[in-house]
Structure 1
Amino acid sequence: MAANEKQIETMGMYATDENSEETKGVFGDDKNHEIKYRTLSWPFVAMIMITEIVTGGTLTLPQALAVVGIVPGLILIVFCGVFALFTSLLLIDFKINHPEVHNMGDAGYILFAPFGLGAVGREVLSCGTIIFAITIVGATQLLGQEALATLSGSKVCLMAYTGIFAVPILLCALPRTLNTGLSWFSLAACVSVLIACIVGMAGAGAEPTADRVVSATVPSNFYTAFLSITNPVIAYAGHFMFFPLISEMEKPRDAKKAAWALQIFATTFYAVFAVVTYYYLGNNVQNPSVLSLSLKWAKATWGLLLPNILVGGSLYNHTAAKILFVRIFRNSHHLHSHTVRAWSVWIGLVVLMNALGFVLAVGVPIFAYLCGIAAALFASWYTYGLAGAFWIHDTYHLKGSAALRRHWIMWTICILTILVGTFICVAGMYAIVKSLVIAYATGAVGHPFAC
């Protein structure tokens, strides 16, 4: 059995005391190490979470309201926010019970080990996390491309803009600890997205769409409705980063404060932005909504949003690289030291993740659909479904089957959480694949590496 798996198997179910993070955590007690990971406070973790969740996806929400109507759309945004808060608290409890868990792969080992499938669960959830993170890196590069093209008047090839934006994403992701740079960059990113979306709402209000139609409800078929629903679902899809973030917290038990701050801010912000923008732009609002603004307001919004997009992409780049880095050097002095081997591997991993995101973004004509497929396959579970399974696992293994019977209401809610994750996964795959088939049939799919 590998060292990592043995550590998880022997320690995973019993680490519930307050000092367990220092003795059994991913980075242990690193006060005397060259590189100290466990330095983040909960306000900085909250800002990092806001940066990686409240980003360019915000701009897709007004169109979701245009498809289903303002009433069901708003209900959906609020429901997803409350549900995401509930599942985030369950994930944090699982992390506190198992401080050695660094990512969804480690959690998957613990979850499936009782069935003799620990190694399988670990590899599937680890690969899913990395794939999902890489697709988001590519998506942020494309958002940066769109922003730079709008600001410059599309004076060069669009692929060049993607490459230009990929460079600062790479550079910001290079520090090996989150507190070295990305936590402070996240402060600027939070301010960036807040001001940018306020300017976007102001632009919509200053120059509203003439003869616009605003609908309370819009009749639509299952395919159309669920395809629009994926926008609010994906807007909260950042839970897979909770484990790596909490692993670098000075006091992991404060993570719930960060989760509350994140979800209150995100849900309120999403609801206000979506409703205000949709009200002024109407049912013809584009996706992203900034495309429906006049050029001057679009430039102002994109320009202010650039720091948020940049830091968000760097966080996902950093996280994908960190998962493999910890996997390679866990229980090794290279993890905490400035060795040539450690830095060479780290830089190589960051470059690799960034390059893969770039190649997917510009080289795969169906990349937008690929992002949707990744979200349906992985975000549905990481953000929603698996949280219920984690609670059931820990309650049974830490407190016994009698505890499940005593907490039957919570058990029922967690079963429903798993079912919701399953529904989002299956229905999301159906909607995305059908839209991809339609795109091919209508000739809407472009060409790889095109300007």
Structure 2
Amino acid sequence: MEKSEKKSQEQTLKEPVHLVREVGGDSTMGDEFDVYGDEKSADIKYRTLVWWKAAALMLAETVSLGILSLPSVFASLGMAAGIILVIGLGGIATATGYVLGMFKLRYPHVHSMADAGEILAGPIGREVLGAAQVIFIVFVCGSHVLTGLIAFDTITAGASCSVLWAGISAIICLVLSIPRTLNGIAYLSVASFTSIIAAIFITMIGVGVAGQKAPVRATADLSFASGFLAVCDIIFAYAGHVAFFTFISEMKNPQDFAKALYALQISDTTLYLVCGIVVYAYTGDTATSPALGNTGVTLRKIAFGIALPTIMIAGVVNGHVCAKMIFVRIFRKNGKESHHMNSHTVVGWATWIGICFGVWALAFIIAEVIPFFNDLLGVISSIFASWFTYGISGIFYFHLTPRSKRWATGWQKARTIFFSFIILMGAFIMVAGLYASIQSIVDGYRSGAFGKPFSCVSRAML
């Protein structure tokens, strides 16, 4: 009986419901339109992704920078805690990602967190979640600019002003963001994934040849702030959920999203474990972040050179998602898409390029102006990634599941308790992460560890 009821409920989640939206006295039904409208005669077709392309985009967006912090996380937390957290948080991220997919299938018009916010809390929810999504992604783009700067500085041994390398990184990402659909970027994402795999393998071979540098600890004795700051790095490594609605919106068959999600979670969890365990096993407490800096000088330059595609392309995926959200918001009104969205018009292209330029200009400025950018990224991740990756999925579950069904069977009771825990987990991560990140900023100022804005000082890992 419970199995049949479980199957019935999952089928119910996949059935679209009517969402009435009142706009200027006009009512439109939320399931009567898709994000991009009828594309049969459109010049620009967005819904072109098959499941493996969506998986490639998700891998490029998620694995790129997340994997580079894992060895230092293991060094902070110890081997046992690192393994448990990577597996545990990865499993939870799979469950929450699945609920995001179900929410999208239930409401086909949802393209961003802003659209989901409107369903949950009306216009206020739309503006709050929309602003949160833009702010979070712009800061993620800033982290790619900063990592690109470090890579170029390392490869060239600090031959030029680091601001120049940051500018070059932002320009490369801007140019690659110009295509209007995710289909072309999906092929770049395959190159991105290949590049990070090759770079990590070079790093693992390098540390293996060099031999063990320091002992490995199963556990660590840390303050709450420093320990949770390391946990936040793992949370950030799974923080791809913010872009899932956009990816599903451009899939030919949105029902295949689960395949892409499972491919992502199996791949990233496996890679995080292998990279974290192997590199930490040889480097011990001397492990640095990014992980590519743990080898000798020559191999370090080679690893960063090979990793450049993933540093850039993963940034491109995030920047594209942010720009697409704003673009759709401008050209989709009352459930109808403007012809500028689906046609090669001057207005459409000028708007798109202008938005992309704005996203990457902001990312460049933020990465250069704020001397404690990495710690500020921790603050932003604590506020937003805690909810986008975990907490908000619990809210989606309660919205999708009628009260009468939440406690109907043993399975439903377990699900209801689990997603209640997910909401509390999101709130805890936000508060604890904010405390740990702010404490790190305070400690950094006390020690004089922060540099100056737009400084030409080399950031090379030599």
Category of TM-score, reference length = shorter chain: over 0.9
* Aligned pairs for 1:29-48 within 5 A: 29-48=38-57
- Which segments of structure 1 move beyond 3 Å, counting only runs of 4 or more? 3-12
**Aligned twin of 2:201:** 198
Taking every aligned residue pair, what percent have the same amino acid on both sides? Answer: 40
8 Å contact from structure 1 (residues 178, 248) kept in 2: yes
**Aligned twin of 2:296:** 294
**Aligned twin of 2:421:** 416
Match of 2:326 among 308, 324, 328: 324
8 Å contact from structure 2 (residues 203, 294) kept in 1: no
Q: Distance in 1 between matches of 2:416 and 2:22?
A: 29
Letter in 2 for 1:65: F
Match of 2:351 among 342, 345, 348: 345
**Aligned twin of 1:440:** 445
8 Å contact from structure 2 (residues 395, 423) kept in 1: yes
Is 1:395 aligned with 2:401?
Answer: yes
Q: Distance in 1 between matches of 2:388 and 2:191?
A: 27
**Aligned twin of 1:243:** 245
Q: Distance in 2 between matches of 1:438 and 1:326?
A: 42
* Cα displacement (A) at 1:283: 1.0
Is 1:70 aligned with 2:47?
Answer: no
* Aligned pairs for 1:259-338 within 5 A: 259-330=261-332, 331=336, 332-338=338-344
**Aligned twin of 1:373:** 379
SS of structure 1 residue aligned to 2:401: helix
TM-score, reference length from structure 1: 0.93
8 Å contact from structure 2 (residues 20, 28) kept in 1: no
**Aligned twin of 2:3:** none
Gaps of 5+ in 1: 16-22, 113-117
RMSD: 1.6
Letter in 2 for 1:429: L
* Cα displacement (A) at 1:5: 5.2
Match of 1:154 among 125, 135, 158: 158
Match of 1:122 among 111, 123, 126: 126
Gaps of 5+ in 2: 1-18, 457-462
8 Å contact from structure 1 (residues 5, 109) kept in 2: no
8 Å contact from structure 1 (residues 11, 98) kept in 2: no
**Aligned twin of 2:10:** none
Distance 1:442 1:257, change over 3 A: same
**After superposition, what is the alpha-carbon deviation per residue over 1:106-125, rounded to whole angstroms, capped at 9, x for unaligned?**
0011112xxxxx11111111
8 Å contact from structure 1 (residues 137, 313) kept in 2: yes
* Aligned pairs for 1:131-170 within 5 A: 131-170=135-174
Q: Distance in 2 between matches of 1:303 and 1:372?
A: 26
Q: Distance in 1 between matches of 2:292 and 2:27?
A: 49
TM-score, reference length from structure 2: 0.90
Distance 1:253 1:214, change over 3 A: same
Letter in 2 for 1:37: Y
Q: Distance in 1 between matches of 2:21 and 2:268?
A: 36
